[in-house]
Structure 1
Amino acid sequence: MSESLQALQAKVAVWIPSRLGEGYGLNQRIIDEVIADGCQLLITVDNGIKSQAEVAYAQEQGLAVIITDHHTAPEIAALPDCLIINPMAPNQGYPYKALAGVGVAFKLATALINSSKLGSEQKKLLIDSVLDLVAIGTVGDCVSLLGENRDLVKQGLTRLNHRPRLGINELLRVAGLQLPINEWHIGWQIVPRLNVAGRLAHANSAYQLLIAKDKTEARASAQHLQEQNISRQNMTKQILDACSRQVETDMFKHQILILLAPDVTVETDTSWPEGVVGLVAGRLSEKYHKPAVVICRSEGQLKGSARSLEQFNIVQALDQVQDCLERYGGHKMAAGFTVKPDRLEELIDRLRVLAAQALVEVDLRPQLKIDAELTCSTIDDKLIDQLEILAPFGTDNQQPVFISHDCQIAG
């Protein structure tokens, strides 16, 4: 969004809220500082659809607001009173609902570019120049890779492999990767190294890498992110091991796993960083095939991160316990929230009841779904080429799984 606006000669300032100090989305402090910087228009990216009060406050101060978001929208009466671009919002007729936050922002940027007085070739160059970021953001957001998202990721991968930006080149170098890359490299190598900036410190360092024009600066930024990522991996493993021991000791009877950092209930120096509890929740959910919630103490508040299964919509569950929460948001399989301090035990009890009711008849044992049976004679280069046509793989478009019988593995 910022690159497109700057290319159209707009004066742009970027504000990425600190996950650790400011949380997600709009708040009054951000609005005040944006106004103090002289801004007249605030455009959100991937947030804001539930920020009715914050948008009203901004408008009272004379600041215009445009919301671009893809998160589940509230009822019409609870929507912010401003221009909203969100395919999930009521009364928006866009036919494809699964765009990532970056995809929605890209749509606005594309519309602005196409409405400009630039020539058709210049417009195409500007739009193509950000497709790499669209691919990274779409894969990183774990949205469906069917429909329009599939096309956006394919186009973005073409851009990444033929004209990678300087920062991405340096990130690939520290990760030990070479072009060409595919969606797997984005999801498992690039995105974790970009995300670690916001998980452990501030996401500005990842942003600076992506817009870097100087090779020395890009190399230093990439190396810093690489070191942070190694640290994040170690933290995640330590916390996951501690949670797993607790789950296997006394939590198997529950349909939802709810883990608390040591300093949530007692005074201790042992804490879990807010930036990694979502990763831990995801690993727990995968490991035990149950919804998982991990709650930590951060900035004096109790903050939780949840990961779920197709059979249990975690945002709908949070809707039913919202009186226990300061704020919350997310998707059906991933969410974040802040707990009212005196309602923690009630929240845990009610979430367990909701999960038990929803999953009582559900077989939660992991299943291996086989797409087809192959004989060894049918496995050749032609088959590999045909399978590549199905890429990019990801949410809703998993790599096919085959089975072959009576085979011997040689070598």
Structure 2
Amino acid sequence: MQKRWAIREMPDNEDVKKLAAELNIDPVLAALLIQRGIYNFEEARFFFRPDIRHLHDPFLMLGMEKAINRIERAILNDERILVFGDYDVDGTTAIAVVYSFFRRITRNIAYYTPNRYTEGYGISTKGIDYAAENGFSLIIALDCGIKSVDKVEYANSLRVDFIICDHHLPGEVLPDAVAILDPKQPLCQYPYKELSGCGIGFKLIQAYAEKNNMPFEKVSRYLDLVAISIACDIVHVTGENRTLAHFGLQQINTSPSIGVKALLDIAGKKERISISDIVFFVGPRINAAGRMDDARLAVELLICENEDDARDKSFLINTQNLERKGHDLSITDEALSLIAGDEILINRKSTVVFNEKWHKGVIGIVASRLTEKYYRPTVVLTRSNGHVAGSARSVLGFDLYEALSGCSDLLIQYGGHKYAAGLTMKPEMVNDFIDRFEEVVSMNITDDQLIQEIKIDAEIELSQIDSKFFRILSQYGPFGPENMTPVFLSRNLMVQGQPSLVGTDHLKLCVSQNGSPTFECIAFSQGSWINQLKSGVPFDICYTIEEHVWREKRSIQLNVKGIRTNKQN
């Protein structure tokens, strides 16, 4: 697939030289700091040395005092408390954090995860009925609820109180809950707006601990779960999130909880764990429970206090993940065949595919894979509970939610954000939706938005990359949205030796530049270049710099994101 290379504008040269001299670092590294809003030694120290004291006062969050007062009253009066959370990674880690903390304070606590297939996303009538029928007078809702006006009203009619801990954008009307914790709600002055749902839950227990003079260690023990939520919910890795992720990763790599350790063991991860390791190895396994059956299993694992129990549950979750992979791959193959066999579908600016037998739990993953392949707004549809349910994904810069709004008269419901959404429609509306969605996308998408972009942070010479450069660069992590792993460009490289294929389509090669040291490179899914990169023929690459570990030997490796010959420049 053709990709557009976009090089970021470099900061003012005087600012770069001043910061580089002040910190005694390569000017390129100084430029990367300025791109992140860091201009002096003190700001750099704050960035490079996260401190747990950087966490904000939880009582700055609107509604926190009301929430803590209601929880204290419930505990004092022996009321039953139900911790309710979504079925994805953010929701299940949030349940695990809040439930695990409060079960050490009260025995009158339980948790509830909605079923993806029978209840859907967020607070459900079935969940409220369960609470009322079993004597729960307080529900703490995590990672959901900010738009559940009617559900909270129904709970109030049953004398069930709600504390809502959410991080999504609120609607025009807020639920009539006892307390709402959401930094994005109007009038909330909390300094950081991008916490995960689990992060909001963490601030709740932090506030309770502070008010009740509990040591911070009673709260910090759950930072491994907070880091997992930050990584998997694709929230910004800046500010408070970066501090939480830093210390959460530290805990994962030194003393993870029993459940997290069991997940890492079954995934075969022994080396130092990074944010990307969590995204690729931990997150899919936690998600698999809710996709294939019941997210309750994921919570049971994450709150586990017995190693044998955790090992058994991680095995079950791993089995579900293997089943999920099977559905994912087979449905993706079927969807790709549908597109490849239809000239009209191939030439559209959107992709909409439908098969009533596809597994609802994996259509979001399939939509992501199709978007990677064809790079255009994509919707994957299947039958569910008498309706047609869909999962949608978008491309950089195109507002998917707005596009679905242009089809709203054909839909029963839809929700989500700019790049990912879910939708439901009547079966007889599928063909009309396919045509309308294509019409809306065609009218609003630009040609550039249909070409995947590689954002390049800086152009460097290979000779600049040494152990000091890499050591300092590593301290820019944890990486994630708004603090992505820097991508570099180097020109006129020469291949050393013979490139080789790893697996079916991954390219392994060695490169040098103007007498520089030789660097090993891996280029995933770029095996088609193997016959074009020949000795004596110059080419350019854009890449990230990473550590490669093989048989306990560590070396710097370039992870190639794109290749161009001089003919293409």
Q: Please, what TM-score do these two structures have when normalized by structure 2?
A: 0.67
Identity of aligned residues (%): 37
Equivalences, count:
397
C-alpha spacing 1:84/1:293, structure 2 compared with 1 (3 Å):
same
Q: Distance in 2 between matches of 1:40 and 1:362?
A: 53
Matched ranges for 1:146-295 at <5 A: 146-248=238-340, 249=342, 250-261=344-355, 263=356, 271-295=357-381
How far apart are the structure 1 equivalents of 2:456 and 2:194? 26
Superposed counterparts of 1:1-16, under 5 Å = 1-9=98-106, 11-16=108-113
Q: Quick one: distance in 2 between partners of 1:348 and 1:100? A: 33
CA distance in 1, matches of 2:358, 2:272: 37
- C-alpha offsets along residues 235-291 of structure 1, whole Å, 9 cap, x if unaligned? 111111111222233323332211112x2xxxxxxx111110000011111221112
Deviations 1:381-407 (A, max 9, x none): 112111111111222222122233323
Runs of 4 or more consecutive aligned structure 1 residues displaced over 6 Å after TM superposition: none
1:80 to 175, 192, 197: 175
SS in 2 for 1:13: strand
Residue 367 of structure 1: SS of its match in structure 2? Answer: strand
**Using a 3 Å threshold, how does the CA distance of structure 1 residues 318 and 112 change in structure 2: closer, same or farther?**
farther
Which amino acid in 1 is paired with 2:191? P
Q: Unaligned regions of 5+ residues in structure 1, if any?
A: 264-270
Task: Label 1:363 to 1:194 Cα distance change in 2 as closer, same or farther (>3 A).
Answer: closer
What's the CA shift for 1:195?
0.7
Cα displacement (A) at 1:342: 4.3
> Which structure 2 segments of 5+ residues have no match?
1-97, 498-509, 511-569
Task: State which structure, 1 or 2, has the greater radius of gyration over its C-alpha atoms.
Answer: 2
Given the alignment of the two structures, is residue 22 of structure 1 paired with residue 83 of structure 2, yes or no?
Answer: no
1:47: how far off? Answer: 1.0
Q: Secondary structure at the match of 2:412?
A: strand
The whole-number CA distance in structure 2 between the counterparts of 1:215 and 1:314 is 44
| CA distance in structure 2 between the partners assigned to 1:325 and 1:67 by the alignment | 28
Alignment match of 1:101 (pick from 197, 200, 209)? 197
Question: Residues 325 and 89 of structure 1: is their aligned pair in 2 closer, same or farther, counting only changes over 3 Å?
Answer: farther
Cα distance between partner residues in 2 of 1:322 and 1:230: 36
Kindly indicate whether residue 451 of structure 2 is the aligned counterpart of residue 326 of structure 1: no
1:137 equivalent among 219, 229, 239: 229
Q: In the superposition, relative to structure 1, how do residues 203 and 60 fare at CA in structure 2: closer, same or farther (>3 Å)?
A: same
Higher fraction of strand: 2
User: Could you list the per-position Cα deviations for residues 283-338 of structure 1 after superposition, in whole angstroms to 9, with x for gaps in the alignment?
Assistant: 11122111211111123332111111232222233344444333332222111222
2: CA distance between counterparts of 1:375 and 1:113? 51
Change (3 A) 1:72 1:344: farther
By how many angstroms is 1:134 displaced? 0.6
TM-score, scaled relative to structure 1: 0.91
Quick one: distance in 2 between partners of 1:39 and 1:383?
A: 56
Is the 8 Å Cα contact of residues 128 and 159 (structure 1) preserved in structure 2? Answer: no
- Does the 8 A contact of 2:396 with 2:449 survive in 1? no
Shift of 1:103: 1.4
Distance in 1 of aligned mates of 2:193 and 2:365? 26
* CA distance, structure 1, for counterparts of residue 244 and residue 410 of structure 2: 39
Q: Which protein has the bigger helix share?
A: 1
CA pair 73-317 structure 1, distance change in 2 beyond 3 A: farther
